[in-house]
Amino acid sequence: MNLMVYTGQTDAYGGVGHTAKVVLYLMRNYLNAGHAVFMDNFYNSYSLAKKLLEVNTYCTGTLKAGRKDTPKT
């Protein structure tokens, strides 16, 4: 298990796509092994789900309908 403490704006993982970067960093040792990650809608996004699937990692969670990369239903 990994832990990452947010230290403010000087955090190297801040900025655009911050939540996806955090998930990919924390999962770095578990990618390409068929594992699954469970996330709430703060971290989960359509583009992150696609990226995880590309590296043989599955995800489950809710998506915010208002995010710009969420497909229309």
| Beta strands at 58-61 and 36-39: parallel, antiparallel or unpaired | parallel
Domain boundaries of the chain, sorted by first residue: 1-73
Pairwise CA distance, residues 8 & 30, whole Å: 26
pLDDT score at 72:
80
pLDDT score at 15:
54
Encoded amino acid at 61, one letter: G
User: Which residues of the chain carry a pLDDT beneath 70?
Assistant: 1, 7-16
pLDDT score at 14:
52
